[in-house]
């Protein structure tokens, strides 16, 4: 069921968005060559506990995963792009890292993701990350009252295809509110003017993610969660929680107030 939020409810969602933004900015700043993925999860867990917030992941057990996730943040590295289960892995120079975090504060959820390289970056990795970020910006620009879901999807696809990337539509954006994953589904490819009409009060997570040379995913058999590229190529993922209002889109997980992108 698609739910619309009142202006007062959107204001109540702001603390969750701000907190998720702060945690991701902190973790990105602290994650270096030599950082263990389990340390990232421990740090996120400590920040969530200190704030009195609730993880949306730790008990999450959808049909596409292998039992409860059991961690509080997704840490996807290199050929992993989504649902990366934190594991005993020490980051190496040049690793491409995607962090995806969803947290509830006072019963309201915010969801966001950021990708970056630790140590010495490869040009192709920076280009891939840049494509996800520009696609996200284009999608937010299309998230206006009077448009439709297809306009958001088409905006994402235009950037990706323009940069030569193919698109997987199995996983994409979604409604956000009292739960992490709600209606509507927002694929990363679509036709403008099609789909559910965007209305004042709709709150969604928009999340472009792309793989360098494929659009096919495989599930890591070791953890039953981590989604990797079928050909071993690298992936990147950018995401924001966005409220659609009559005055334009509000990016609830915007990190610019912290002085970072």
Annotated binding site for substrate: 83, 181
pLDDT digits (tens, 9 = 90+) for 158-173: 999 999 999 999 999 9
CB 240 within 8 A of CB 254: yes
Q: Per the annotation, where are the binding residues for a divalent metal cation?
A: 100, 111, 174, 207, 239
Q: Would you say residue 225 lies in a domain? A: yes
Q: How many C-beta neighbours within 10 Å does residue 229 have?
A: 22
Cα gap 192→189, rounded to integer Å? 10
The pLDDT tens digits for 62-100 are 988 998 999 999 999 999 999 999 999 999 999 999 999
CATH number at residue 165: 3.90.230.10
Percent pLDDT > 70 in the chain is 100
Please give the annotated binding residues, written as ranges.
83, 100, 111, 174, 181, 207, 239
CA 189 to chain centre: 16
Query: Quick check: 251 and 95 in contact, CB under 8 A?
Result: no
Q: What is the mean pLDDT of residues 126-143?
A: 98
| Rounded distance between C-alpha atoms, residue 210 and residue 169, angstroms | 10
**Residue ranges making up the domain that contains 244:** 7-255
Closest C-alpha among 12, 190, 29 to residue 99? 29
Residue 260 lies in a domain: no
How far is it, in rounded angstroms, from Cα 18 to Cα 158? Answer: 29
CA dihedral (127, 128, 130, 131) positive or negative = positive
Residue 232 carries which DSSP code? Answer: S
CA distance 90 to 38: 9
What is the reported pLDDT for 97? 98
Residue with the two structure tokens 């340390």: 39
For the residues 17-38, what does the mean pLDDT come to?
98
Q: What is the mean pLDDT of the chain?
A: 97
Q: Structure tokens of 47?
A: 């920040």
What pLDDT, on a 0 to 100 scale, did the predictor assign at position 261? 75
- Domain count of the fold of the chain: 1
- What does the pLDDT average to over 237-257? 96
pLDDT of residue 257: 78
Q: Is residue 1 part of a domain?
A: no
Which pLDDT value is given to residue 256?
Answer: 87
Q: Specify if 241 maps to a domain.
A: yes
Q: How many helices (H) and strands (E) does the chain have?
A: 4, 14
CA angle at 114 for the pair 225 and 56, rounded to the nearest 5°: 50
pLDDT score for 125? 98
What's the whole-number mean pLDDT along residues 38-44? Answer: 98
Assigned domain for 261 exists: no
In the numeric block, which tokens belong to residue 114?
């950021």
Which SS3 state, helix, strand or coil, does residue 220 take?
Answer: coil
Q: Please check whether residue 155 lies inside any domain of the structure.
A: yes
Look at residue 2 and tell me if it is in a domain: no
């Amino acid at each position: 069921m698609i739910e619309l939020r009142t202006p007062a409810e959107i204001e109540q969602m702001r603390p969750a968005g701000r907190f998720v933004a702060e945690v991701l900015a902190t973790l990105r700043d602290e994650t270096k060559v030599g950082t263990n993925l389990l340390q990232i999860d421990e740090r996120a867990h400590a920040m969530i506990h200190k704030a009195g917030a609730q993880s949306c992941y730790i008990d999450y057990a959808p049909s596409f995963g292998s039992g409860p996730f059991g961690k509080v943040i997704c840490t996807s590295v290199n050929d992993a792009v989504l649902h990366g289960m934190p594991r005993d892995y020490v980051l190496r120079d040049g690793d491409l890292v995607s962090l995806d975090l969803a947290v509830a504060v006072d019963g309201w959820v915010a969801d966001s993701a950021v990708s970056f390289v630790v140590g010495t970056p490869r040009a192709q990795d920076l280009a891939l990350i840049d494509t996800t970020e520009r696609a996200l910006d284009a999608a937010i620009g299309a998230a206006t009252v009077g448009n439709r879901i297809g306009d958001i999807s088409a905006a994402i696809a235009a950037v990706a295809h323009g940069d030569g990337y193919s698109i997987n539509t199995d996983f994409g954006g979604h409604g956000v509110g009292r739960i992490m994953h709600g209606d509507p589904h927002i694929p990363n490819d679509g036709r403008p003017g099609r789909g559910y009409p965007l209305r004042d009060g709709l709150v969604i997570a928009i999340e472009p993610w792309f793989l360098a040379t494929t659009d096919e995913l495989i599930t890591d058999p070791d953890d039953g969660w981590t989604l990797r590229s079928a050909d071993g190529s690298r992936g990147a993922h950018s995401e924001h929680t966005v409220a659609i209002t009559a005055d334009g889109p509000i990016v609830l997980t915007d990190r610019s107030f912290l002085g970072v992108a």
